[in-house]
Amino acid sequence: MNNYNNPNGYLLLFRGTDWHKELSPEEIQRIMGEWGSWFDRLEREGKLAAANPLENEGVTISGKARAVADGPFAESKEAVGGFFLLTVETMEEALAIGKECPALPYGLTVEVRPVAPACPVGRMLKDVEATALA
Amino acid sequence: MPPHNPEIPKLTEHLFRHEAGKLVSALTGIFGIRRLQLAEDVVQEAMIRALQVWPYYGVPDNPAAWLMQTAKRRALDMLRREKLFQEKQPEISASLERLPDDADGPLFEEEIRDDRLRLIFTCCHPLISQEDQTALALKTLCGFGIPEIASAFLTSEAAIAKRLTRAKQRIQDQGIPFEIPAGNELESRLDGVLHVLYLLFNEGYKASNGESLVREDLCHEAIRLGSLLAAHPAGNLPKTHALLAVMLLDAARIPAREDDEGNILRLKDQDRTRWDRRLIGAGMMHLARASVGTDLSEYHLQAGIAACHCTAPDYADTDWPRILAHYDRWVEISASPIVALNRAVAVANVHGPKAGMDAIKAIAKPEQLETYYLFHAVIGDLEERLDRRMEAAARFSKAMELTGVASERSFLEERQRACETNTPFRAGKHKGPSRTA
């Protein structure tokens, strides 16, 4: 795992749209509150560049024929239910934030992905620099 | 990124749970009782929708109205998309549209008042077994989840799921109606409902080990449903107010029942400043409203006794003769040996431990009490006061064997030891179980 500084930030993808099915209203209210405070704190600290929930529906387009298929992603373990685009610059910090997700104990998974820089040469230069300094 | 409201209004405690109960009632009123599951599913989806979007966009100004509108929209979508209720679809859509948007407003409360009561009467229908009734009431009326119900009743989730399925099947098979009974039937059906609320309350009130939070919630849910009943013309009877008074006056003493370490405190050792004055006030108000007319139920007598305790400055200055008078009348209308046992405690407090022992010996069917740990604990207490310490110790140890509650056991153990070593028992100093155990 590269821990180079990445000025483009990190994306947290929240996977799973079925983990909340069996929750009771009381639990839903509690997790909702925890998630809200987590969100607010990150926002206050200036660590969120963007964040949105996604609808459980949509279409997929594929192939040369540009075939459009209904993608009812409802209730699947893999479907993305929302994302945070973090402004943090290291994997370490992005991971630490991802681990705070209050829905992890209930089966949601958090995927942490570095956002690639616009110019890959820039990154290669950085890697060379880092190797040279090491 | 969407604009975010930094001033997140704090949600009322248990808001989701309470709204779930209301919304399920309202939707069942529209879909019909045979579609109870559909109503529950729609409400669940509205709650999950809130979980998915509120953290990002903030809590809406009127959360209850938001949940209401979302459930409504979801129900309409389902009607159209899944072609439910084909023949009655326009009717059902129109009823859904008519639901007021403000689920927290007085208009909505008024609108669904009857539906909530109908659902209470359905859940507490005598064709459903009593243990299934309590589970169903908690699920549909109070918005509890299966794990929560299981932990409240100290049983497995599978057992609760089974009870719920059985109860719903029963509603289908027997065609149990969604209605407030009328005429002669109302009175007896109301007795059944009151009894279920009483069971719910007692289940929560019973001393427990480690689960005190959920169980206290049961007490408050029973009070909430009782208040709904009392506020409705069909349920507004003296005995409803009497039951409410019992529950409020007992619940008022919950904060003082244990010390900071979770040890059980006897009534005489409780810090009475910790009793909830607001609940006592409400309880006394309902007791007054229970006293109109000539109806005298067991709830009346029990509320009268609880009121004597709640208004006494301390244990010694309690009006024991009056309590005994209530018990005397209670044993006249109840064959319960437990009531007779409690009466014996009152006898001992008025006429001394010897008279208390005689009252116990006079209990009609004492064999029913042999496996009841408090039977032995009470005798142990009287033996101790009669200075028969070894007999007392034996009784406390018998009581210990019979209770499954760790905090009760450690309390009894301490008393037993005090008897055996001939040292005075010091309240609240014994080692109790840890709350997290």
**Half-sphere exposure in the Cβ direction for B194 (13 Å, CA):** 25
- What token pair was written down for B342? 């409690």
Least confident of B99-108, B356-365, B423-432: B423-432
Q: With respect to residue B335, please indicate whether it lies within any of the assigned structural domains.
A: no
Percent of chain B, pLDDT > 90?
61
Contact A31 B145 (CB under 8 A): no
Mean pLDDT over B129-146 rounds to 93
Cβ–Cβ < 8 Å for B363, B375: no
Q: What angle do CA B383, B387, B392 make, to 5 degrees?
A: 35
Residue among A41, A52, A44 nearest A11 (CA): A52
Q: With respect to residue B401, please indicate whether it lies within any of the assigned structural domains.
A: yes
Closest residue of chain A to B20, computed from CA coordinates: A25
Contact A52 B56 (CB under 8 A): yes
Q: Is the ipTM of this complex over 0.90?
A: no
Q: What is the DSSP letter of B386?
A: T
State the Cα–Cα distance between residues B75 and B31, nearest whole angstrom: 10
Q: Give Cα A64 to chain centroid, integer Å.
A: 30
Specify the 3-state DSSP secondary structure of A111. Answer: strand
State the Cα–Cα distance between residues B365 and B368, nearest whole angstrom: 6
Amino acid sitting at position B284: M
Of A20, A38, A51, the CB nearest to B51: A20
Percent of chain B, pLDDT > 70?
91
Do residue B22 and residue B97 come from a single domain?
Answer: yes
**Count H helices, E strands: chain A?**
3, 6
Whether B8 shows a pLDDT value over 70: the answer reads: no
CA of B154 to nearest chain A CA: how many angstroms apart? 18
Q: Is B56 on the interface with A (CB under 8 A)?
A: yes
φ, ψ of residue A48 in degrees (nearest 5): -110, 120
* Domain residue limits, chain A: 10-133
Of A31, A43, A49, the CB nearest to B51: A31
**What is the rounded end-to-end Cα distance, in angstroms, of chain A?**
16
Higher pLDDT, B397 or A57: B397
- What token pair was written down for B309? 């305790």
- Distance of CA B240 to CAs B115, B236, B281, B364, Å? 19, 6, 17, 30
Q: Domain range for residue B405? A: 370-437
Q: What's the structural domain count of chain B?
A: 4
Task: Give the residue carrying structure tokens 């879909």.
Answer: B31
Q: In a structure prediction context, what are the per-residue pLDDT tens digits for chain A, which is 134 residues long?
A: 555 678 889 999 999 998 998 899 999 999 999 999 999 999 999 999 999 999 888 888 999 999 998 876 667 888 899 999 999 999 999 999 999 999 999 999 999 999 987 766 666 776 777 777 66
Do residue B280 and residue B374 come from a single domain?
Answer: no
Mean pLDDT over B278-304 rounds to 94
Specify the 3-state DSSP secondary structure of A10. Answer: strand
Q: With respect to residue B339, please indicate whether it lies within any of the assigned structural domains.
A: no
Contact B15 A29 (CB under 8 A): yes
Contact A25 B1 (CB under 8 A): no
Name which of A15, A32, A37, A48 to mutate to probe chain B: the one with the most chain B Cβ atoms within 10 A of its Cβ.
A32
Closest residue of chain B to A55, computed from CA coordinates: B52
pLDDT for the residue B212: 55
CB-CB neighbors (< 8 A) of B15 in chain A = 29
**Domain final residue, candidates B211, B235, B259:** B235
Q: What is the DSSP letter of A115?
A: P
Do residue B258 and residue B220 come from a single domain?
Answer: no
Of A29, A43, A48, the CB nearest to B16: A29
pLDDT for the residue B6: 45
Q: What is the DSSP letter of A8?
A: T
Closest residue of chain A to B67, computed from CA coordinates: A25
Higher pLDDT, B91 or B246: B246
Chain B residues 59-98 within an 8 A CB cutoff of chain A: 59
pLDDT for the residue B434: 35
Residue among B162, B180, B198 nearest B122 (CA): B180
User: Candidates 1.10.3720.10, 3.30.70.1060, 1.10.10.60, 3.30.1300.10; correct CATH number of A10-133?
Assistant: 3.30.70.1060
Q: With respect to residue B418, please indicate whether it lies within any of the assigned structural domains.
A: yes
CB-CB neighbors (< 8 A) of B11 in chain A = 29, 33
Mean pLDDT over B374-402 rounds to 94
Do residue B219 and residue B250 come from a single domain?
Answer: no
Q: Which helix (H) or strand (E) holds B289?
A: helix B277-290
Contact A52 B19 (CB under 8 A): no
SS3 content of chain A, % helix, strand, coil (to 5): 35, 25, 40
Q: What is the pLDDT of residues B71-107, one digit of tens each?
A: 989 988 888 877 777 777 788 888 888 887 766 666 6
User: Taking CB atoms and an 8 Å cut-off, how many pairs form between chains A and B?
Assistant: 80
Closest residue of chain A to B149, computed from CA coordinates: A24
**Domain final residue, candidates B279, B301, B318:** B318
Chain A positions touching chain B (beta carbons under 8 Å)? 20-29, 31-33, 35-36, 38-40, 43-44, 48-53, 81-82
Do residue B231 and residue B245 come from a single domain?
Answer: no
CB-CB neighbors (< 8 A) of A52 in chain B = 1-2, 56
Name which of A22, A29, A101 to mutate to probe chain B: the one with the most chain B Cβ atoms within 10 A of its Cβ.
A29
Do residue B68 and residue B166 come from a single domain?
Answer: no
Cβ–Cβ < 8 Å for B189, B121: yes
Sheet containing strand A10-15, edge to edge, reads A48-53, A80-86, A10-15, A109-114
Name which of A17, A23, A28 to mutate to probe chain B: the one with the most chain B Cβ atoms within 10 A of its Cβ.
A28
Q: What is the pLDDT of residues B329-355, one digit of tens each?
A: 999 999 889 999 999 999 999 999 999
Q: Is B16 on the interface with A (CB under 8 A)?
A: yes
- Which long-range contacts link B379-386 to residues 24+ away (Cβ below 8 Å)? B380/B412, B380/B415, B380/B416, B380/B419, B381/B415, B382/B348, B382/B353, B382/B356, B382/B357, B384/B415, B384/B419, B385/B348, B385/B353, B386/B353, B386/B354, B386/B357
Whether B375 shows a pLDDT value over 80: the answer reads: yes
B240, with CB counted inside 10 A (0-12, 13-18, 19+), is buried
Whether B66 shows a pLDDT value over 50: the answer reads: yes
Do residue B220 and residue B173 come from a single domain?
Answer: yes
Q: Which helix (H) or strand (E) holds A36?
A: helix A25-44
- What token pair was written down for B337? 């040996």
pLDDT for the residue B393: 94
Q: What is the pLDDT of residues B155-204, one digit of tens each?
A: 899 999 999 999 999 999 999 999 999 988 998 899 999 999 998 898 88
- What token pair was written down for A43? 């926002």
Q: Which helix (H) or strand (E) holds B9?
A: none
Q: How many CB atoms lie within 10 A of CB A7?
A: 9
**Domain final residue, candidates B185, B215, B235:** B235
pLDDT for the residue A73: 66
Cβ–Cβ < 8 Å for B222, B229: no
- What token pair was written down for A113? 């992905």
CA of B48 to nearest chain A CA: how many angstroms apart? 7
Full DSSP string of B90-157:
HHHHHHHHHS-S-TTSHHHHHHHHHHHHHHHHHHT-TTS-HHHHHHHIIIIIT---HHHHHHHTTS-H
